Structure 1
Amino acid sequence: MAGGYVVGVLTETDNLNDLARGIAAGWGMKEADIPRLAQSLGQPQLQAQLAQGLQDFSDDNATDFFVIKATGTGAQTRYRAYTAIQIWPDSAFPVTRNVAGSAAAPNTLRIFSDFQCPYCKQLWDTALPEWERQPNVYRTAHYQFPLDFHKNAFSAAEASECAGAQGKFWPYADVLFDQFSSWTRLDPKDVSGRFSTYAKTAGLDTAAFKTCLGQRTFKASVEAQYKAGVALGVRGTPTVFLNGIKLMDYRSAEEQAVVQAITSATPSAASIIDARVKSLR
């Protein structure tokens, strides 16, 4: 436990049924699904992996993970399993200059966003202003995650990075979302001209902006941010991490309070989980 909340479930047993029950408790599985899980854990190929020690995420969203280690053979086999929430260290996130709020703020929000995503606009119009009003409480970082079915999203991401190079990411992003219904409908070949117009609105050096956009200066950076997001389990936008934990609902004050409690506890949830994982290796 950390901050009064359970952050991981440890199971130690000599039989597969109890192993499955312990893992199911950590995953919040239904009782009816436990026998099938026990059967899967008993497969010879998986048993061989457990003998070596197995660690993986519970699903593609990478919100929690498990570690299972088997020792002994035959009737002497014993299992130790640990399921826990995934808390990503700062080093797991790419470097970005697009950060707002005090460096001393106790909470860090990391937003993976797509400028052509209507749900990202909703976050920008509702939750973000609230976070920005508390710069000593929240430090907010933005990461590019342009979805491939949004025809102008990648170009918009590059444009915002060009604005960021001039220290104007946030005002430029404000313009992009404010003019959402205008540029998102354009043919991709026409969108760069519109982005240059927005650069003037946001107070940028438009000549430098046009050069940056025309040379695709930040293409590789946008691609790297997207790739990092995939590795972190980002599957859609917006995806928000608070203190290294992916939020299921960024609008939930209750969920945020729980995350803040476990990440600010002494010892922290991350240190407790790390120590437990090391003990299973």
Structure 2
Amino acid sequence: MCSKESIQSELSASLEALKTDYVDMYMLHRDDPRISAGQFVEWMNELREDGLIRAWGVSNWNLKRLEQAHDYAISRGLMPPSATSPQLSLAVPSDEVWPTTHSLSCPSKVGEIEWYKANGVEIMGWEALAKGFMAVPTLWREHEVNLSTFHGPDAEIGSETWRMQRIQRAYCTQLNYARRRIATQLAKESGMSLAQVALLYSLAKGEHVSVLVGADRCSHLDEMAAIRDWSLDDEAFNCLTAATKKSSVVSRVAAEIQEAKEATVSLQKKVLVTPSTTQSFNETMISSVVEPVLA
């Protein structure tokens, strides 16, 4: 079970490893529902008062828990969480990618994304390229995925087979293959790569959205950095969301997204809206982000 002492210990170890006295952003990597959201707020604010962190956020928390933390902090004049890190990609997981994780990829989550924007919470999406599914057009082609992945028994937890089962069960769906085909076509027509189109899709969800990607070569970093000068238009975004280029379906999906946004705006009139406690992560380089793993 997570405790104040365990968090302090992990932070101290991280500061020593980073050779710094503080971190700009401290992220709680997993939620522990046995502990109240308010207790986490108190702990994080104590670390801030001690000068060890400047801001804090959460990873894989659902909206209800984050709302509780936000409301608790605001009502007591404390710093609320200013960032959240869920799974976010063009590939919509059919289920939890990993146990106890949270995703914002589904189009139905547009209201949740709008809530974060209204309340000054940055979104930092992990697995933005779906473990390579949205980076390599030929990875895990439909005829190559073993049916036992979906219908066979679960492999031993923690094994490489179990890991691959989780990834392919989550991402290798008909809708995601359709999204990848459309994204690949858009990439070819525009001179971009599949990965660039996939990242632009996630970034198009709001100015408060950032994506977390890994790279094993400098050329990949250059490729990702280049997208700062590009954007997807509404038609391309809606085609990818609907996983089709049929105009009637795309129009319906676009209307549903707009209705969800309008409903959220109406709801926000009833909640307390506060400015972000940090600058946009799209404009500010974060020198160090530390995420403790909660048991």
- TM-score, normalised on structure 1? 0.26
- TM-score, normalised on structure 2? 0.25
Relative to its length, the structure with more strand (as a share) is 1
Q: Which has the larger radius of gyration?
A: 1
